[in-house]
């Protein structure tokens, strides 16, 4: 890896009116050329000052927080993301958060004057009326993403010496709504209605996989036939397909735990066997028009389906079945809450969903767990009831 080139400054010393003036210029963190001047009694003092300032420039200590706006800094920060080992999807939503939401509201504020109260007000406004189409507030998940983006960017400003502390650290966290994924999920009865009603759809096996495994939409689209062991009744999650700047992008699973093996029920295995036969028939009909590859979720000519397309088709199908509207990502949460409500151990749910720790599972589905505890207590009590 090549070492990042440090910024360079240029300087000079001139005699003027029995005094000595030192000049130097540099490019600041916002990409703007700055020029500084100092006035001294002797040439030695001027040279010492200039030498120290040029050393600061060479060491990257060129910050002038008072002159940099939030918008200027965030533009520079976005440009630096390419040097970090971040997923393309992560960089994409950082850019979207900055350009579509943060800069239009906070871009004109001087970076040094960005306060916790300004951040709180920004997040509150986005929660109440932040949709760009004027349709109300952003979802708790979207507001949380804005908060995360702003916090990460400002952490970078602290490291660069542009800020002494991160104002996002001191913003009231209660202003950021916590997403409750269990609010909009299907009941086990609704989930069963969807599985049964979608079985005759061309993508019936795909819908069943999504409903019965808890895979993310991106993971469903990332499945290939070698990932399936139909004889053993399991599948392996090895990749995901996400949309980055409008284009599909294949990437590794979200976390190390997301790379996992998921057991399949007999009905899902049977559905996938039937789907394999149908896909082979479609390949024969398509002939040379068939798209090479081993993707499971494909259109009639073998091209892999995009996650956003799958999401739209899911909404249309659910509506046609008279089911309550939820986003396709809520199938994952519907699967998890159904398992927990049936008394399944949270550790099993964690492993099926690919959460990095069981604490994430417990926190995510905390609203479901009290009912589980009550049912467990009643079951245990009945074992001691000898009347």
How would residue 3 be classed by pLDDT, with cut points 50, 70 and 90? very low
When mean pLDDT is compared across 267-276, 323-332, 378-387, the lowest value belongs to: 378-387
pTM over 0.75: no
Residue 110 phi/psi, 5-degree rounding, is -65, 135
Confidence of residue 163 (pLDDT cuts 50, 70, 90): confident
pLDDT above 70 (res 380): no
Q: What is the pLDDT of residues 111-157, one digit of tens each?
A: 989 999 999 999 999 988 999 988 888 888 889 899 999 999 999 88
Q: Is the predicted pLDDT of residue 62 greater than 70, yes or no?
A: no
Q: What is the pLDDT of residue 30?
A: 56
- Alpha-carbon distance 223 to 155, whole Å? 37
**Least confident range of 79-83, 133-137, 310-314:** 79-83
């Amino acid at each position: 890896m090549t070492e990042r080139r440090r910024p360079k400054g240029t300087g000079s010393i001139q005699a003027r009116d029995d005094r000595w003036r030192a000049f130097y210029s540099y490019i600041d963190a916002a990409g703007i050329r700055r020029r500084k001047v100092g006035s001294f009694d002797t040439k030695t003092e001027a040279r010492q000052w200039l030498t120290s300032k040029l050393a600061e420039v060479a060491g990257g200590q060129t910050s002038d927080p008072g002159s940099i706006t939030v918008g200027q800094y965030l533009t520079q920060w976005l440009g630096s993301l390419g040097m970090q080992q971040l997923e393309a999807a992560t960089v994409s939503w950082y850019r979207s958060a900055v350009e579509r939401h943060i800069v239009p509201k906070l871009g004109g504020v001087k970076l040094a004057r960005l306060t916790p109260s300004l951040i709180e007000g920004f997040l509150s406004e986005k929660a109440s009326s932040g949709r760009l189409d004027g349709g109300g507030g952003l979802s708790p998940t979207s507001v949380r993403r804005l908060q995360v983006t702003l916090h990460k960017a400002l952490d970078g400003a602290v490291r660069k010496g542009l800020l002494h502390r991160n104002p996002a650290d001191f913003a009231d966290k209660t202003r950021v709504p916590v997403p409750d994924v269990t609010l909009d999920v299907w009941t086990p009865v609704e989930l069963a209605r969807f599985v049964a009603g979608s079985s005759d759809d061309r993508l019936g096996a795909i819908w069943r996989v999504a409903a019965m495994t808890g895979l993310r939409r991106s993971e469903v689209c990332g499945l290939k036939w070698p990932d399936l062991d139909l004889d053993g009744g399991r599948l392996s999650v090895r990749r995901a397909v996400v949309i980055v700047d409008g284009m599909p992008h294949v990437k590794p699973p979200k976390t190390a735990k997301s790379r996992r093996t998921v057991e399949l029920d007999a009905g899902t295995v049977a559905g996938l066997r039937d789907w394999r036969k149908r896909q082979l028939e479609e390949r024969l009909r398509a002939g040379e028009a068939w798209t090479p590859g081993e993707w499971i979720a494909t259109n009639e000519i073998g091209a892999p389906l995009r996650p956003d397309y799958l999401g739209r088709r899911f909404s249309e199908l659910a509506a046609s079945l008279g089911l309550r509207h939820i986003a396709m990502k809520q199938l994952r949460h519907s699967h998890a809450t159904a398992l927990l409500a049936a008394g399944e151990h949270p550790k099993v749910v964690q492993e099926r969903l690919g959460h990095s720790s069981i604490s994430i599972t417990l926190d995510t589905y905390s609203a479901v767990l009290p009912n589980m505890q009550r049912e467990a207590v009643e079951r245990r009590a009945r074992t001691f009831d000898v009347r």
